[in-house]
Chains A and B, each alone.
Chain A
């Protein structure tokens, strides 16, 4: 575990010394800031509706689907291609630790990105009445869904040896997960299958529950389990060189 922590620290340092990370951060804040501004106009300044309008809209979903693949695309793919992974593994660190550390660094950066928007909410809170509970729960949801999307990115990065291929594959995984929501059109209200779709759908969790202030622990169980399973698969993919 110690080694995983050291690797996590190094990965996070590497992310923050790279100009790409800062460019992503600035662009993310600008786009999401503009999105919140437009959403506020759409809800006529009602801050209670702003969380759902701002974080449940297309722009947020686009960010959710695109940002994790961009953060994780170099994690394993590039290192595998350059031989850096081999250099790393000869120190005796386990495959699972490498996967865990790389994911943790990517997810931490993802969390920091969303936290960049908190000052905007702080300013809004000073001029109006903000439901901090809803905001907190929504952020928890974004973090837990993002954890799974980052895990998808790590898996894609382990499966390929080119960063762009990794980003493309991770984006496909994330879109696949996102599209589960639209399976509901195949079922009628009251069908058991519809409950399953809702249980698995990120759009339902964020758009219909968390941004409305509904905190369902099953949401965290599902996304947490999915993240762990994906990370386990990633570690197995790394181990394939020994098969």
Chain B
């Protein structure tokens, strides 16, 4: 649904996007993550035709339309919820959405129904006659999403959609995004990696204008499992027993790293090792104070993929 091939974008001498290639399959929710200035918003701006890519860009296809050949048609296939949502406070919700519908080419007799449809889709039908400057931040975001849904575009670009929302509003907004899954192809840019982990089917990591990683949920979950750690605390009487425990842990095939501090071990291993540790403790009469798994988060994976070592290795 979104296919980008060798996209480059420069501002003078500075290269904001450097040979970016990725694709977002139809109906998927893809998290587009990266540090500030990594190139997320620039990519969005190219997808909305606000910015023109460099001439060496091979192709940018949105909803089956080549944006470089037919930017106007490509625009009609995309709905956008920008990071900086500026709504004309002096207008009412229905006036604003009707105006936006007309701009997006919704035919005159369908406009009212379309406004009602999108307001229902974002659970804000009661706001139809409210002035935009009287809305809370949560409802402003919903009206922004309603605007993006006008004309039923197959592709939705959501730039930091939960920014500035309180925890309840974030949960509600997440549910809204979840409800759009399948009917629309979503590209969601966010710094809240927990949110991306919960909502997205795929992730795409961008750093310094280059794509570092593009993976589906299954692959990144496996990767997180490998990065997970076990926390073990024993009631160990002497140093000899401690080194025996460390030695035994290192011999286990699932273990890739062991760190010991006092009577606490941090083990990088699959969590299935917990059962074997339990058995061994019974046999050796180790007294377990605590044994728990500490799953890795997308945050740790993100730091790993955008860290200085990785950048160095890739360059």
Which residues of A are at the interface with B, using a C-beta cutoff of 8 A? 2-3, 6-7, 9-10, 13-14, 17-18, 79, 82-84, 86-93, 241-242
Given contacts A3-B103, A83-B84, 20 further A-B contacts (CB under 8 A): A3-B102, A6-B102, A7-B103, A9-B99, A14-B90, A17-B91, A18-B90, A82-B86, A83-B82, A83-B86, A86-B50, A87-B147, A88-B103, A90-B48, A91-B100, A91-B104, A92-B75, A92-B104, A242-B51, A242-B52
Q: CA separation between A79 and B85, bound complex, in Å? A: 11
Secondary structure type dominating chain B contacts? loop
Q: CA separation between A163 and B78, bound complex, in Å? A: 31
A-B contact pairs, 29 of them (CB 8 A): A9-B99, A10-B88, A13-B91, A14-B91, A17-B91, A79-B86, A82-B86, A83-B83, A83-B84, A83-B85, A83-B86, A84-B87, A86-B45, A86-B82, A87-B82, A87-B85, A87-B86, A89-B49, A90-B80, A91-B100, A91-B103, A92-B71, A92-B72, A92-B76, A92-B105, A93-B103, A241-B50, A241-B51, A242-B52
Q: Could you say which of B49, B75, B99, B100 has the most chain A C-beta atoms within 10 Å of its C-beta?
A: B99
| B-chain residues with CB within 8 Å of residue A9 when the two chains form the complex | 99
Q: CA separation between A86 and B159, bound complex, in Å? A: 13
B92 CB to nearest A CB, Å: 9
| B-chain residues with CB within 8 Å of residue A242 when the two chains form the complex | 51-52
| A-chain residues with CB within 8 Å of residue B105 when the two chains form the complex | 92
* Chain B, residue nearest A91 (CB): B103
Q: Is B214 an interface residue (CB 8 A)?
A: no
Q: Could you say which of A2, A13, A92 has the most chain B C-beta atoms within 10 Å of its C-beta?
A: A92
| A14 and B88 contact, Cβ closer than 8 Å, known pairs A6-B102, A90-B50 | yes
Q: CA separation between A30 and B232, bound complex, in Å? A: 83
Q: CA separation between A81 and B130, bound complex, in Å? A: 25
A163 CB to nearest B CB, Å: 14
B299 CB to nearest A CB, Å: 28
The answer, among B49, B90, B91, B99, for a CB contact under 8 Å with A90, is B49
| A-chain residues with CB within 8 Å of residue B49 when the two chains form the complex | 89-90, 92
Q: CA separation between A84 and B144, bound complex, in Å? A: 12
| A-chain residues with CB within 8 Å of residue B75 when the two chains form the complex | 90-92
Cβ–Cβ contact B86 & A90, under 8 A: no
| A-chain residues with CB within 8 Å of residue B72 when the two chains form the complex | 92
| A-chain residues with CB within 8 Å of residue B100 when the two chains form the complex | 91
Q: Could you say which of A7, A9, A17, A86 has the most chain B C-beta atoms within 10 Å of its C-beta?
A: A86
Q: CA separation between A13 and B88, bound complex, in Å? A: 11
Give B58-104 interface residues, CB cut-off 8 Å to A. Answer: 71-72, 75-76, 78, 80, 82-88, 90-91, 95, 99-100, 102-104
Q: Could you say which of A6, A83, A90 has the most chain B C-beta atoms within 10 Å of its C-beta?
A: A90
Q: CA separation between A93 and B105, bound complex, in Å? A: 10
| B-chain residues with CB within 8 Å of residue A7 when the two chains form the complex | 103
| A-chain residues with CB within 8 Å of residue B71 when the two chains form the complex | 92
| A13 and B104 contact, Cβ closer than 8 Å, known pairs A83-B86, A242-B52 | no
Q: CA separation between A184 and B76, bound complex, in Å? A: 54
| A90 and B78 contact, Cβ closer than 8 Å, known pairs A10-B99, A13-B95, A17-B91 | yes
Give B94-148 interface residues, CB cut-off 8 Å to A. Answer: 95, 99-100, 102-105, 147
The answer, among B51, B52, B76, B103, for a CB contact under 8 Å with A6, is B103
* Chain B, residue nearest A19 (CB): B90
Q: CA separation between A178 and B45, bound complex, in Å? A: 41
B152 CB to nearest A CB, Å: 14
| B-chain residues with CB within 8 Å of residue A2 when the two chains form the complex | 102
Q: CA separation between A89 and B102, bound complex, in Å? A: 13
| A-chain residues with CB within 8 Å of residue B51 when the two chains form the complex | 241-242
| A-chain residues with CB within 8 Å of residue B83 when the two chains form the complex | 83
Cβ–Cβ contact B103 & A82, under 8 A: no
Q: CA separation between A87 and B50, bound complex, in Å? A: 9
* Chain B, residue nearest A16 (CB): B90
Q: CA separation between A9 and B84, bound complex, in Å? A: 24
Q: CA separation between A14 and B84, bound complex, in Å? A: 20
* Chain B, residue nearest A81 (CB): B86
